[in-house]
Amino acid sequence: MGIQERKEREKERRRQQIIVAAKRVFSDKGFNKATMEDIATEAELSPGTLYLYFRNKEELYASLSLRILQYLLISLEHVTEEKDMDPWQKLHDLMKAMFDVYDFDPLIIINMFHLQSSETLKNLSPEFLLKIEELSGKALGAMAKIFDEGIRKGVFIEKHPVALADIFWSLFSGVVLWEASKKFINQEKDYLKETLETAFEIFKRGLKAGPGQN
């Protein structure tokens, strides 16, 4: 049993080693230009070995996104676990969590949007899609819970909490993606965090219960 476990841990270590290498290579070259040999070289392994740990290139790629989803989920659970906290404070923490996620790995966030693109999703194995669905479902659910509380307490605008979660996530990911592409077009400096803060402020203001306006 101890041996079994040690083996399991060893295997997980290898997976991580590969994922770390893959992250570097994919971020550098993008999905198509990155070759399995590049990744193997970066991981100081042989190409064949990668296939002992990942079914194929697409799945290795998707694993990166899974990892950031897991990180996101943990961050979100920290927020939702808190009982009796003011909804505005929770929202504030949620926003902070998103910054954390971005800081954890800005490039892989971009990759995750690539993953979201229908082209990549089409080519994933059903099991993998299921995992992604599960994780992102949980993450969305955690967000929705926060919004739900705020609505029930009468401090957030009365909208469907799931829709609010969707919008919140869309706003975040939209800003990250847009700022990333702006860099290529205009070669601008990195205004992402400022823009994100403004975006979140507007979202917050718009979320506040009370008379709206047309």
Contacting positions for DNA (CB under 7 A): 7, 10-11, 14, 33-37, 45-49, 51-52, 56-58
154 binds a copy of itself (CB under 8 A): no
Closest distance to DNA from the beta carbon of 128 (Å): 13
How far from 196 is each of 69, 106, 202, CA to CA, in Å?
20, 13, 10
Residue 22: CB partners within 8 Å, gap ≥ 6? 34, 39, 42, 43, 60, 61, 63, 64
Which part of the chain contacts a copy of itself (CB under 8 A), choosing from 12-20, 56-64, 72-80, 108-116?
A: 108-116
Q: Map residue 82 onto helix, strand or coil.
A: coil
Phi and psi torsions of 204, nearest 5° = -65, -45
Closest distance to a copy of itself from the beta carbon of 51 (Å): 13
Q: Choose, by CB under 8 A, the member of 49, 133, 154, 190 that binds a copy of itself.
A: 133
Closest distance to a copy of itself from the beta carbon of 111 (Å): 9
31 binds a copy of itself (CB under 8 A): yes
Q: What is the DSSP secondary structure assignment for residue 214, as one 8-state letter?
A: -
Cβ burial, residue 75 (10 Å; 0-12/13-18/19+) = buried
Closest distance to DNA from the beta carbon of 193 (Å): 34
> Cα separation of 26 and 20, whole Å?
10
How far from 26 is each of 102, 128, 160, CA to CA, in Å?
17, 19, 37
Closest distance to a copy of itself from the beta carbon of 141 (Å): 12
Residues in contact with a copy of itself by the rule CB under 8 A: 29-33, 88, 92, 110, 113-114, 116-119, 121-122, 129, 132-133, 136-137, 157, 159-160, 163-164, 166-167, 169-175, 177-186, 191, 194-195, 198-199, 201-208, 212-214
